[in-house]
Structure 1
Amino acid sequence: MWLNEEQVIDSAIRGYRKTLLRSSPNHIVIDNLFNDAKLQQVIRVLQQEHNWQTQQHTYSALYVDNAKWQKTHKKQRFVQRDMWLRDGTSMNSADSNSALQFLAFLRSDEFLSLLSRIFRVVITDINVAEPSINTNYFRLTASDFVNLHADDSPGREVCMLLYLNKDWHSSCNRENNNGGELVFKGTDNNPITIAPLYNRCVLFDPASEGSEHWVNALTTQNSHQYRYNVTSWYWSE
């Protein structure tokens, strides 16, 4: 079982729903939603140096190659990060298999049903041409970035972020803070900052006011330290 059952009982769902409706942007933060032992297997796969590829987006084009990237002004670059290559993954170990299975679970009927209960809209992949490409692992280093952008798209109802960072430090003191926080633009000049702590799931409505967001730069001086997360997008009928 990928989900922690106590986090998805009816009373918990009602609580998520209330929080969602009262927040701006409409979002909820759920800690320990997923099974810790299974996520540990996933993390071991992500920590392997192979199966990662740099991904670069500009405000005018996605998946930009290096030649175009170098010609693009820095203010027009909004994403530089690594994307996990599931097609290059060896299936010879239980851990590797678990990483793929988790991505599949996040598009399963069970998980889509959970999102439907929380957001009270039918979440489905019936009209999504390639569901699998809308759920994947990503990592950031201190030199990477995710700048201000919106995830709204016709029919897109839910965006999910799940953080997979063990022993991540979050503090007002910069010296004890690894950075990498998700920041929603929010409303009335009140941005909302969420630390990327292990097994923390953020669900939000990308069409809600103030849902534009960015990621704070990593403050770690360790060039080999990564901020890992799953990003997943979901549509209605």
Structure 2
Amino acid sequence: MRLLLAEDDPILADALSANLRHAGFEVEVAENGAVAEYLLTRHNFDLGVIDIGLPLVDGLTVVKRAHAARPALPLMVLTALDGLESRVAGLNAGADDYLTKPFDFPELEARIRALLRRARLSASAATPAKAANAVQVAGKLSFDRDARRMTVQGQPVDLSPREWSLLDLLLTHEGKVVTKDQIATEWSGDAPAEPHMPSGSLEVIVHRLRRKLEDSGLSIRTVRGLGYLLENA
């Protein structure tokens, strides 16, 4: 499990990250809100732990923007403020849980694991085999599997059978590397070969698909030796 810890107190950040790593988590630390927002909205994390009192961009703003960009990402707020209004503000911003400083590490770990369990259950319930039939990405791309229709900024985009199949696979595994073997398996099942396409057609189709995604808020990154990764542009 990969966690982002957004905490500007270096002593507390070092202590928490060390304990979380000892508990088996992979941890990346952001020392201000601007870095935390960038990482949470553009990289693949399983959970964010965010202090409200961050410099540059405050923690509540980070939570709002991260929740808007990745609604399924579990977010926990840490704060020294114990008032009802502060707790409500954090939850209304999109946080899934709220922990007041000072706290004991076992409680933090238990809450993190509970959030991750709920996220896994929600994902498995909502995604039986593939992602949801209708996908919206950052308000720019709409991908409707049932209607076999894709739009970018409201404009329809034509996809060939293999472009469609590849994008479907990348969206299903968004934020994770899709290997060339996975793509070959997908194509062998339901995406007919295209006429006049050479045997090494994958790179050609990826290139074409990249061009069609230019204004969508998504990009396809080549992970050398492994495959391809769909991520926010």
Is the TM value for this pair above 0.5? no
Using the size of structure 2 for normalisation, the TM-score is 0.24
Using CA pairs under 8 Å that are at least 6 residues apart, name the structure with larger relative contact order, 1 or 2: 1
Q: Which has the higher strand share?
A: 1
- Going by fraction, where is helix more abundant, 1 or 2? 2
Instruction: Give the TM-score, by structure 1 length.
Output: 0.24
- Which has more radius of gyration? 2
